[in-house]
Amino acid sequence: MAASTDSRTDSRTRRRKSARRPKSTKLNTPRATPEAIQEFRTKSPRLRLISVWLVLILGMVGLGGRLAYLQLMIGGDLKLMAEEQQAIQATPRTSRRQMVDRQGNVVAMDRVMYTLYVHPMLFKRSGEAIAQALSSVLETDPHELVEDFGEQESGIKLAEDISEETAKRLRGLRLDGLDLRPSPQRVYPQGELFSQVTGYIDLDGAPKAGIEIELEDALKYNEPKSEVEALQIVTRDDLQMQLTIDSRLQRIAQENLAATVAEYNAKRGALIVMDSKTGEILTLAVAPTYDPNRYYDAEVEYFKNWAVSDLYEPGSTFKPINVAIALENNAISPNDTIYDEGRIQVGEWPIQNVDFKYIGGRGPISITDVLRYSSNVGMVHIMEKMQRSTYYEWLEKLGLGNATGIELPGEANGQIKERDQFVNSAVEAATTSFGQGFSLTPLQLVQLHGTLANGGMKVTPHVVRGMVNGEGELTWSPERSAPKRVFSPETTRQVLNMMQDVVDDGTGSAAKVDGYQIAGKTGTAQKATEYGTYGNQRITSFVSIAPVSDPRYVVLAVVDEPQGENAYGGTVAAPLVKKMLESLVVLEGVAPDEVASGKQQSSPAEAESN
Amino acid sequence: MVFATDFDPLEQPQRHQTSDLSKIKSATDLGTHQTYDDLPVATRQRRQPSGHGQLRKGQLSASQTRRARAKEAEAQRIVTEAAIAEFERDASVAQQQSAQKGNAQKGSSVLTIHASSSTESATKPLSFSKRASLPFGLTLLNRMQQGSAVVATALISSALLLYGSTVYVDKSTSRALIQLDALQSESQQLTTANEAIKQSLAEQATLEDSGLELYEAGDVLFLAPEPVREAKPLPEETTEKLQPLGY
């Protein structure tokens, strides 16, 4: 290097070169000579190594510190944020299981309904614009909406019971500040048809009346625990609660009962059909009734199913039971004769037949005639042949004074006199013999006549068949007591034959159905006033068992306080039962009594086809 | 640094040239501005057949090159003396001896090769019967390092898989739940509509002008089934064999 500079600047800058040399070694040459660099590098690789190591260590410490911060300090918050982000919010569509009727039609179901809240502080557009958009969907006045927006900054409830479609339209508006909260609401598609059986759910979601409150545990889904709510909704079963009620028969019963109650201006009515073989109730129609979807429009007293929770004195409809008791006890035999004076005095109480004024005493009549003409005096004489204590035991055995055990709430226990009072006083047994002086519910009377229909077994009437799954298999049914035998089949057969004459030729002839043998009994009982005496209001009833050749169904119609001159069991209640029976035999496929031989019914059909 | 396993004395002759070239390149790169021509001739000669593995690895510091050069000068002196003394002995014997002597002393074996190859004109191919082996501890550590590397790879890949699966499972679950929600909504709406239609049909039927009537007892026919007839035997088919008709 030195040689090259020398050769170039030799002549001119000799002085300068010499003066510059000490500087040039510093300026023109690099700061560090190659040797110096080598020196540095070979001398301290350790320094470089240590510095690299330090950098790496610092990085690791920094990362470790950040990790500790994230996990320990704000770990909880981050976890919450992550869960919020990840957890899918499942809309709570159902909180209770569905109820279906005998055929599988849905009687009660849940439906999701939205409540619209607005938060004006989150509005991106002006209140008027938003009010305009909302009013077109909600169909309310925009000015009212603007006023509502001025109330609070957030959490204003604008509308309730918004359906899914409307909610979709509201979401499609894409407005900030709208908040749709879903919640399940119970809906009864059949309206007032099943209201007395299902009950209703009030606006707060609490069940009231009927099966909703009685079997709430079976109907309500378990509350999902907060953490895995959405997944628990997946695991929900699709069980439905199946009722034994047939909605077609129920509809026919409800229509006709309402018509009869209106026609006779009665206070209320009930129409019950039970399958005595199993105790399943096919129809439980009550008038007046209410629409459970709009329960708030109804009177409070309609919420109570009076067929289950109100007591009444059965009157003459109880007479066949008494005859069965007497027959079973061998106090009488079916061919005995009873002397009917028409009017007797028991103790200090006069007892007379209903038609005593027109006919007077009938004299010696058969047991069948006692039932046919509904003779109170005859019944008194029949039951006199039994010891009162035995009679009382029989009444207890039949369950008078207790409830039937149906799955409806508020069932009333029947009332009978105390044993001492009954046994010691003749008039008690006398009045009981023609169905007064004690009380029971219409449902209990159906149960008692069921014992006559199925050959002497006392079954538990029930409206709930159980829980059925998607394939229709029964997975659970409520606990019921087993049927108990109270009468022998011969006794029931004899009583049924007697009852058949009532319909064929007696007070119940209005209930005759072509081609079928019907057994029945009318009942017209005087109602006790609030002062304890009997007023002139009646409670009319008609109970029927069909068909006689193969007894199965018990139909009871009760009409309370029908007005008018001709308001008796035979005129008010029996036609109602006839209409019910006609539909019943068709829908349930009850063969007419002549077809048992098989020939007569099929030959017209053959003749037609040939 | 050179790993003991990497060292293969059999390949030394090839490595010599490459190491030299790289070393020369590195020497110039250091900014010493020393070209190959500047080096003293003796060094040049000495550098060519050098077998030092460490020079192969690239850049050297100035002190290292000086040390190498000093070492080489020393080695050269010893070697020339020994070569003359042992030249009578068989080359293979010398190899065996060197092989049996401390194998870890790579320097000495190198020097012996160096001696035989520089003094002899015709070099026989050298073969070692035994490779240089390490102490047991190092081999064990080595094996452990390899094993742990495999395990680490496996663990890392499984960790990644698990993480991926959690994200995937979450995503597919939420997608399925959204689908379920939509289906439930649809089912609810369908059931409601179905029941509402049934209800309105029933209500219409009860109106007087619907043309529908209540049931009556004679509305249903009950037919008794005919008794089962025994199967009539089918007439046997008599297949007539047609006479061939000739026209």
> pLDDT tens digit string along A12-53?
555 555 555 555 555 566 667 888 777 766 667 888 899 999
A96: DSSP letter: B
Q: Distance of CA A51 to CAs A46, A61, A147, A567, Å?
A: 8, 15, 71, 114
Q: Distance of CA A518 to CAs A20, A497, A544, A574, A575, Å?
A: 144, 9, 7, 12, 13
> What per-residue confidence (pLDDT) applies to A35?
81
Residue A166 has pLDDT above 60, yes or no: yes
Chain B residues with CB inside 8 Å of A553's CB? none
Per-residue confidence band for A482, with pLDDT thresholds at 50, 70 and 90: very high
Average pLDDT of span B105-112: 47
Which B residues in the span 107-136 are in contact with A, Cβ-Cβ below 8 Å? Answer: none
Nearest residue on chain B to A168, judged by CA atoms?
B185
**Cβ-count burial B94-123 (b if 16+ within 10 Å, e if not):** bbeebbeeebeebeebbbbbbbbbeeeeee
Contact B199 A191 (CB under 8 A): yes
Nearest residue on chain B to A92, judged by CA atoms?
B181
Give the model confidence (pLDDT) of A73-126 as tens digits: 899 999 998 887 776 677 888 889 999 999 999 999 999 999 999 888 888 888
Test mutation, B215, B219, B223, B226, chain A, max A CBs within 10 A: B215
Interface size, chain A vs chain B, as Cβ–Cβ contacts under 8 Å:
110
Contact B170 A602 (CB under 8 A): no
Contact present, A219 and A253 (Cβ < 8 Å)? no
Instruction: Point out the residue among B181, B196, B214 whose CB comes nearest to the CB of A90.
Output: B181
Measure the N-to-C terminal CA separation of chain B; round to a whole number of Å. Answer: 115
Chain B residues with CB inside 8 Å of A595's CB? 222, 224
- Comparing A330-334, A448-452, B13-17, which segment has the lowest mean pLDDT? B13-17
Tokens 């002139």 sit on residue: A536
DSSP-based three-state secondary structure for A217: helix
Nearest chain B Cα distance for residue A245, angstroms: 16
Contact A582 B206 (CB under 8 A): no
User: In this prediction, what percent of chain A has a pLDDT beyond 70?
Assistant: 90
Tokens 């000669």 sit on residue: B45
> What per-residue confidence (pLDDT) applies to B98?
54
- Give the strand pairing for A343-346 and A349-352: antiparallel
- Residue that wins the pLDDT comparison between A319 and B60: A319
Round the average pLDDT of chain A to a whole number and report it. 86
DSSP-based three-state secondary structure for A6: helix
Instruction: Point out the residue among B61, B174, B220 whose CB comes nearest to the CB of A42.
Output: B61
Which B residues in the span 145-204 are in contact with A, Cβ-Cβ below 8 Å? Answer: 170, 173-174, 177-178, 180-181, 184-185, 188-189, 191-192, 194-196, 198-199, 202
Rounded CA gap, A186 and A207, in Å? 10
> What per-residue confidence (pLDDT) applies to A44?
72
Helix or strand holding residue A158 (H, E): strand A156-162
- Residue that wins the pLDDT comparison between B108 and A536: A536
Contact B192 A589 (CB under 8 A): no
Nearest residue on chain B to A513, judged by CA atoms?
B217
- What does residue A87 show for φ and ψ, rounded to 5 degrees? -65, 125
Rounded CA gap, A54 and A59, in Å? 8
Rounded CA gap, A213 and A203, in Å? 14
Nearest residue on chain B to A253, judged by CA atoms?
B214
Residue B5 has pLDDT above 90, yes or no: no
With an 8 Å Cβ cutoff, is B221 touching chain A? Answer: yes
A574: DSSP letter: H
Average pLDDT of span A505-510: 82
- Other Cβ atoms within 10 Å of A278 Cβ, number: 17
Nearest to A98 by CA among A297, A236, A284, A259: A236
Contact A91 B181 (CB under 8 A): yes
Instruction: Point out the residue among A37, A516, A598 whose CB comes nearest to the CB of B31.
Output: A37
A399: DSSP letter: T
Burial label for A56, CB within 10 Å (0-12, 13-18, 19+), is exposed
- Give the strand pairing for A240-243 and A98-100: parallel
- Indicate the residue type of A186: R
| Cα dihedral value A48, A53, A54, A56, nearest 10 | 130
- Other Cβ atoms within 10 Å of A13 Cβ, number: 13
Contact A42 B198 (CB under 8 A): no
Rounded CA gap, A257 and A271, in Å? 7
Contact A93 B188 (CB under 8 A): yes
Burial label for B179, CB within 10 Å (0-12, 13-18, 19+), is exposed
Rounded CA gap, A308 and A305, in Å? 6
- What does residue A305 show for φ and ψ, rounded to 5 degrees? -80, 100
- Indicate the residue type of A345: Q
Assembly ipTM: 0.77
Contact B185 A91 (CB under 8 A): yes
Contact B63 A42 (CB under 8 A): yes
Residue A209 Rama label (left phi>0; alpha psi -120 to 50; beta): left
Contact A586 B219 (CB under 8 A): yes
Give pTM, 2 decimals.
0.71
DSSP-based three-state secondary structure for A425: coil
> What per-residue confidence (pLDDT) applies to A10?
53
Per-residue confidence band for A610, with pLDDT thresholds at 50, 70 and 90: very low
Chain A residues with CB inside 8 Å of B33's CB? 34
Nearest residue on chain B to A515, judged by CA atoms?
B217
Chain A residues with CB inside 8 Å of B224's CB? 595, 598-599, 601-602
Active-site residues of A, by number, are 316
